[in-house]
Amino acid sequence: MQKKIEKQIVEFAKDTGLTERREIVHGTLYVKLHEEKECDTFHRAIRTFYKDQINNEGGVNMYAVGDEFAFDFVPQDREAPVFSDEDYSGKEDMMPSDVDKGIWSEFAEEELMNNMPEDVDTMLDLMNDAKEGR
């Protein structure tokens, strides 16, 4: 990523007022938020900024890394299905925090349950049996 673009992203992250610390390492933005619960708000804000100001065919993926969050700037087809452009259509005057969408979805939960290793599934069954006294 070009240094000029990296600087724009870091400045925007600072301007949101949501971050204590921010830096880009190997093209990934790492931020320490004032409040971790604001991660979705920041994710929406940085994604909107990136798509509007830098690459309208790009996307942003978010990952929790210890007490920080990492944001990868990726091509649109590699973006995790957290947001859809319909979220913002006709809502250009709304702040990202006005849109009530979380990062967890029924799809994600279903996918997690489908890919659960057998030993974890067995352990959950045993724990449920123990709670029921079986």
* pTM of the model as a whole: 0.61
Is a pLDDT exceeding 70 seen at residue 109?
Answer: no
The pLDDT of residue 48: 94
Let me know if 5 is exposed, middle or buried by CB neighbors in 10 A (0-12, 13-18, 19+).
middle
Q: What is the mean pLDDT of residues 103-121?
A: 57
In angstroms, the CA 34 to CA 31 distance is 10
The pLDDT of residue 85: 52
Longest dimension (CA), the chain: 63
pLDDT per residue over 58-108, tens digit each?
999 999 988 899 999 999 888 888 765 554 444 444 444 444 444 444 555
The pLDDT of residue 118: 67
SS3 3: helix
pLDDT per residue over 4-61, tens digit each?
999 999 999 999 999 999 999 988 999 999 999 999 999 999 999 999 999 999 999 9
Token representation of residue 66: 């210890």
The pLDDT of residue 93: 45
The pLDDT of residue 5: 92
Closest residue by Cα to residue 28 from 57, 65, 56: 65
